[in-house]
Amino acid sequence: MTNTEYQTDNQNNQFHENHTEIGSPVSIIPLGGLGEFGLNMMVYETENDIIVIDTGFMLPNSDMPGVDLIFPDIQYLRERKEKVRAILLTHGHEDHIGALAYVLQQVDVPVYGTQLTLSIASGRLKEYGVLTKASLNAIAPGDNVSLGDFSAEFIHVTHSIPDSVAIALQTPVGVVVHTGDFKFDGTPIDGKLTDIPTFARLGAEGVQLLLSDSTNANWIGQTPSERSIYDSIDNIFQKTEQRLYLCTFSSSLHRIQQFVDLAMKHRRLVAVTGRSLINNIRIATELGHLKINPDYLIDAKDAPMFKPHEIVILSTGSQGEPRSAMALIALDNHPFLNVEPNDTVVISARIIPGNEKSVGNVINHLLRRGVNIFHERNANVHVSGHGSSEDLKLMLNLLQPKFFVPIHGEYQNLVRHAELAESVGIPRENINVAEDGELIQLTSESCEVFERQGRSGRVLVDGKPEIELEDIVLRDRIQLSQDGMVIPIIVLHSDGSAMATEPEIISRGFVYIDESEELINEAKEITRNVIDNLTNEQKQETEIVQDEIRITLRKLFAKQMQRSPLVLPVVMRV
């Protein structure tokens, strides 16, 4: 990607002749990320202007059949899109940028982020036809951007992906710091430390409100350095005599750099499988965030040509995603890669809550094939990119905010972070635990949280962002998966006077008809009675006939079987 694809000047920044009066309240509305992992999206609003920090998505859990992605509901922004000045991105993880295409389809505003973040985001924007019209503005840590009533300063932080930033907002009521994801790594892979001097300067000048990452608030101590797993992975390289598979997040570029360094140290060629991993390695290499000797890279299709001890394979699928490279390899379904007994697989990633079963299935399939497996629960092969309790307390002490709101994480994480804030001296009355959709109103003297009032929600996506699932569709899918479906087929004379044939009952996933003859006959009899009790005028209205049958049969099945199958009456006329 060339620099010409970005607008790097601020000529398009929008200003108002009359800015919001100094001291006027600032409204802060989390549209996602407070009460769950992922879906991170925060709105900052004054009388004249809105800016948005991050636009993340979340992956569905097992009780959402057929759902591919979950996006924040942005109706609040759509209703105020003339006020939205910009979207600011903290880093390139999907839980912070994954909904960007969905948002830009509806709210056309400039986007600001570091070059790596924008490059990663561009792939999805292109996929959904938004890239050509998107206004992408590359910034660097230390830059300031003026956006109406707001001014944003970007501050470098260490995380598991390079080019991550926190954002300090100058607002009419003072400075608000939004940390994004961060930790304090004393020996980062790229040598770029979290910018402690800038945070200390902001703290000395005065911070009105801090909103800080709570992902690891329950973890005691300080998160280890990314380099802390190097020796453990190195030891696995030394002991592996056959093929070695290294599986991680496609955006864990610091982890990937260590894998590549170790592969070159042990004179193994590197093959990469998984589209997102291939794309991110290409982008990061072009931008200088990954340093790879091209002589060590081979096409994964050529891997079978080499002896097992001569190569290492980098793979996606650390969360057990069904179509990921590692899931396909585990089932012998990959087009050109397979595992043999005594091969080694390293899953170098945190198992996200909710994905335990999927990851467990992949591990089980690999073990059946005689593979040696290392993961975070049996070896030191993963370290978090999020700060633990001591990191979080250090950030609080550096910034010394007047008010504090924990962000990013489940409610228990937010509450624990609030307790940490109180432990370092922030008064309890100045700490607010908020959730999605609640209004955080900040003034020069107060910070209060008000009820949701319909400001947020979730959009369930089946396929592309433009294909949204209504709640009733998801409820139907859940009902089908749990209780099955019954289809009564009724044939009426065209004049509506009577039934032309006996009702027919079809069952799918509810009962086996041959073994439930009594129940099915009762259902047929009740269906006949429903039709007989309708007037000729009612029989002419197909929807009335369907509703009466649906309601009556559901009552029957609930009484007789204590189950509630989906009842879909079919009415035909002859």
Model confidence band, residue 305 (pLDDT cutoffs 50, 70, 90): very high
R_g of the chain, CA atoms, integer Å: 28
- Element spanning 259, H or E: helix 253-265
**Residue 195, CB half-sphere, CA atoms under 13 Å: how many?**
20
pTM comes to 0.80
DSSP string computed for 388-456: -HHHHHHHHHHH--SEEEEESB-HHHHHHHHHHHHHTT--GGGB----TT-EEEE-SS-EEEE--TT--
Model confidence band, residue 467 (pLDDT cutoffs 50, 70, 90): very low
User: Which of 233-247, 417-431, 495-509 comes out lowest in average pLDDT?
Assistant: 495-509
- What is the C-alpha to C-alpha distance for residues 348 and 379, in angstroms, rounded to an integer? 10
Both tokens of 128, joined, read 């959904």
- What is the C-alpha to C-alpha distance for residues 337 and 305, in angstroms, rounded to an integer? 11
Sheet containing 447-450, strands listed edge to edge, beginning at the edge strand earlier in sequence: 136-139, 111-114, 84-88, 50-53, 41-45, 26-32, 439-442, 447-450
**Bridge-based pairing state of the strands 144-147 and 41-45:** unpaired
Question: Tokens 């007994």 belong to which residue?
Answer: 341
Model confidence band, residue 492 (pLDDT cutoffs 50, 70, 90): confident
3-state helix, strand, coil in the chain (%, to 5): 35, 25, 40
Both tokens of 200, joined, read 């200390």
Residue 263 predicted with pLDDT over 70:
yes
474-573 architecture in CATH?
Roll (3.10)
Residues 115-147, buried b or exposed e (16+ Cβ, 10 A)? bbbbbbbbbbbeeeebbeebebbbbebebebeb
Q: Taking residues 258-279, what's their average pLDDT?
A: 96
- The hierarchical CATH code for the domain 3-221+385-469 is 3.60.15.10
Q: Residues 175, 210: contact at Cβ < 8 Å?
A: no
> pLDDT at position 15, please?
38
Both tokens of 572, joined, read 């035909």
Q: Residues 151, 174: contact at Cβ < 8 Å?
A: no
- The hierarchical CATH code for the domain 226-374 is 3.40.50.10710
Q: Render pLDDT for 123-169 as a digit per residue (tens, 0 to 9).
A: 889 988 899 999 999 999 999 999 999 999 999 999 999 999 999 99
- What is the C-alpha to C-alpha distance for residues 221 and 355, in angstroms, rounded to an integer? 26
Model confidence band, residue 6 (pLDDT cutoffs 50, 70, 90): very low
Alpha helices in 72-137 (DSSP H): 75-78, 94-97, 100-104, 115-127
DSSP string computed for 527-558: HHHHHHTS-HHHHT-HHHHHHHHHHHHHHHHH
Q: Residues 35, 70: contact at Cβ < 8 Å?
A: no
Residue 17 predicted with pLDDT over 50:
no
> pLDDT at position 512, please?
61
Of all residues in the chain, the percent with pLDDT exceeding 70 is 90
In terms of phi and psi (left: phi > 0; alpha: psi -120 to 50; beta: otherwise), the region of 267 is: left
Of 508, 552, 514, residue with least CA distance to 533: 552
Q: Where are the domains of the chain?
A: 3-221+385-469, 226-374, 474-573
- What is the C-alpha to C-alpha distance for residues 277 and 162, in angstroms, rounded to an integer? 15
Q: Taking residues 183-197, what's their average pLDDT?
A: 97
Q: Give Dmax over CA atoms of the chain in angstroms.
A: 85
Q: Taking residues 343-359, what's their average pLDDT?
A: 89
> pLDDT at position 497, please?
66
3-state SS class at 310: helix
In terms of phi and psi (left: phi > 0; alpha: psi -120 to 50; beta: otherwise), the region of 569 is: beta
